């Protein structure tokens, strides 16, 4: 489980901040070795894998590898670190009780089944005693409840979600601490086909999930010198807005990429705060993602604001976006090594984009509660989300500035609904266009910006009743 690293690459001064990071070269090297091992395995599912570079007592550098949850139904694969607690032993208490609960199928046993299930989950949580770099141990439930100090949050989530503590990062750190190894840096990557509900790109690095892992890692990283949160450490650039149109009732502005629409967790500087300073009482009628640039409308009075909100609710405000799509990931699926013939898997490869010239995407979206702000496709609980699209130009060899991507596809997007990350998910999801927007760090891969721009906005003036159209060409 302790794999040597043969390299002269120096170790970082501080440990990785796991929720927003660029993989250290040592982690990239370790990940390549893990991926070579994965190529030799017979796998039938996509999975998140992690690497942790450590210093041993002999001062040499090694790396550890882990996978989240179970891999092919097992948690005992050689080469990878063990789970924090092994609940899969056939003769262990957890499996014996699980079998007993599964056998209770009569309606008269429903309440007993529920109670025994809750008791078993509590028992399982109690087996997770998480360590930190000080050598201290704490029960998982205590770690969870101490992190969520808000009474409202604790009432809503009194216990951790199932599977908490089984992700890559807790496994890696727990093993390192238990073996006297000093953690140096860490990274996680996805390997294999994307899940049906969410979007994961094969071979791409990802941050640790916030829902399950943020409380756990906040405890487990104590005692390490950790990088500051880059989103907070560097602050927000003081970008400015451009007024495209203004009268006594409303304002149309052009927002640059990298500026928040409203104050958020990464800062308070936003379009809304700029407007409030320049136009006291102005109300922003809708939002764009931080990375999205383009046209937005604000009201100078509450009556005008309500009128605009009603137009958005009635879908009478027409919007058009222009985006560049990463065609190198189009229709990409994964061929597992030694997969049987006829298995529905295809090799990841750059393929010619064969999307219809025009079409409609309808994928219901729901916020992933354990990994905000990511969205998932959920046909049972998701909110309807519909987008028309039109290909503007075929893939070309012209590259966005500073981009290493090839053959971006220019496309127009016409949303009928306004769900969070709707356009980004509809482009990236395999059941949508299967082409993430260039620079989409959540659903694709990073670039110098998110190549999505709101270039046209059509609305009815709340006071004059005039139908008005505004256009702002994309800066790419």
* CA trace torsion 149, 155, 158, 164 (10° rounding): -70
Q: How many residues does the chain have?
A: 476
List the catalytic residues: 289
CA distance 419 to 242: 25
Question: Dihedral sign, CA of 192, 198, 204, 205?
Answer: negative
Closest alpha carbon to 43 in 164, 202, 172: 202
On whether the CB atoms of residues 81 and 173 are closer than 8 A, the answer is no
CA distance 140 to 474: 49
Structure tokens belonging to residue 374: 């990511």
CA distance 143 to 215: 7
In degrees, rounded to 5, the angle at the alpha carbon of residue 127 between the alpha carbons of residues 126 and 129 is 90
CA distance 370 to 160: 10
What's the pLDDT at 155?
80
CA distance 412 to 55: 50
What's the pLDDT at 406?
56
Q: Is 203 left (phi over 0), alpha (psi -120 to 50) or beta?
A: left
CA distances from 67 to 89, 227, 355, 392 (A): 18, 24, 34, 41
What's the pLDDT at 266?
67
In degrees, rounded to 5, the angle at the alpha carbon of residue 441 between the alpha carbons of residues 175 and 319 is 150
What's the pLDDT at 120?
93
Contacts of residue 10, Cβ cutoff 8 Å, sequence gap at least 6: none
* Backbone torsions φ then ψ of 17, nearest 5 degrees: -80, 110
CA distance 410 to 390: 9
User: Taking the CB of residue 114, how many other CB atoms lie within 10 A of it?
Assistant: 12
**Which segments in the chain show pLDDT lower than 70?**
233-235, 266, 329-354, 394-407
Question: Dihedral sign, CA of 91, 94, 100, 103?
Answer: negative
In degrees, rounded to 5, the angle at the alpha carbon of residue 222 between the alpha carbons of residues 216 and 225 is 125
Structure tokens belonging to residue 396: 């070309």
């Amino acid at each position: 489980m302790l794999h040597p690293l043969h390299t002269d690459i120096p170790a970082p001064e501080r440990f990785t901040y796991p929720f927003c990071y660029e993989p250290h070269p040592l982690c990239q090297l370790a990940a390549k070795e893990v991926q070579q091992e994965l190529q030799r395995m017979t796998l039938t599912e996509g999975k998140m894998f992690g690497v942790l570079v450590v210093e041993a007592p002999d001062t040499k550098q090694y790396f550890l590898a882990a996978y989240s949850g179970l891999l092919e139904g097992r948690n005992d694969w050689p080469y990878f670190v063990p789970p924090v607690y092994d609940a899969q032993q056939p003769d262990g208490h957890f499996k014996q009780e699980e079998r007993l609960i599964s056998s209770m199928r009569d309606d008269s046993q429903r309440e007993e089944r529920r109670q025994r299930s809750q008791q078993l989950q509590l028992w399982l949580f109690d087996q997770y005693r998480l360590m930190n770099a000080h050598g201290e141990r704490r029960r998982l439930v205590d770690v969870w409840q101490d992190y969520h100090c808000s009474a409202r949050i604790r009432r809503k989530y009194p216990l951790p979600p199932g599977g908490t503590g089984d992700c890559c990062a807790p496994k890696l750190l727990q093993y390192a601490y238990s073996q006297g190894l000093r953690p140096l840096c860490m990274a996680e990557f996805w390997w294999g086909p994307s899940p049906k509900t969410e979007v994961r790109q094969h071979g791409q690095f990802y941050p640790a999930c916030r829902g399950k892992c943020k409380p756990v890692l906040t405890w487990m990283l104590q005692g390490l010198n950790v990088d500051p949160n880059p989103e907070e450490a560097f602050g927000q650039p003081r970008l400015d807005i451009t007024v495209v149109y203004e009268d006594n009732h409303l304002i149309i502005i052009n927002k640059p990429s990298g500026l928040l629409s409203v104050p958020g967790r990464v800062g308070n500087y936003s379009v809304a705060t700029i407007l409030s300073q320049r136009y006291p009482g102005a109300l922003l009628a809708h939002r764009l993602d931080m990375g999205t640039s383009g046209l937005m409308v604000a009201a100078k009075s509450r009556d005008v604001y309500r009128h605009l909100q009603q137009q958005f609710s009635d879908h009478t405000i027409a919007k058009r976006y222009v985006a560049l799509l990463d065609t190198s990931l189009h229709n990409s699926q994964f061929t597992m090594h030694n997969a049987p013939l006829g298995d529905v898997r295809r090799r990841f490869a750059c393929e010619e984009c064969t999307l219809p010239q025009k079409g409609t995407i309808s994928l219901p979206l729901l916020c992933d509660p354990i990994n905000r702000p990511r969205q998932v496709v959920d046909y049972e609980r998701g909110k309807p989300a519909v987008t028309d699209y039109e290909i503007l130009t075929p893939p070309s060899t012209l590259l966005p500035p500073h981009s290493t991507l090839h053959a971006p596809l220019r496309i127009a997007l016409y949303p009928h609904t306004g769900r969070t990350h709707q356009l980004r998910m509809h482009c990236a999801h395999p059941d949508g266009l299967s082409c993430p927007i260039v620079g989409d760090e959540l659903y694709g891969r990073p670039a110098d910006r998110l190549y999505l721009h709101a270039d046209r906005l059509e609305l009815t003036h709340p006071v004059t009743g005039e139908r008005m159209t505004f256009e702002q060409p994309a800066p790419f």
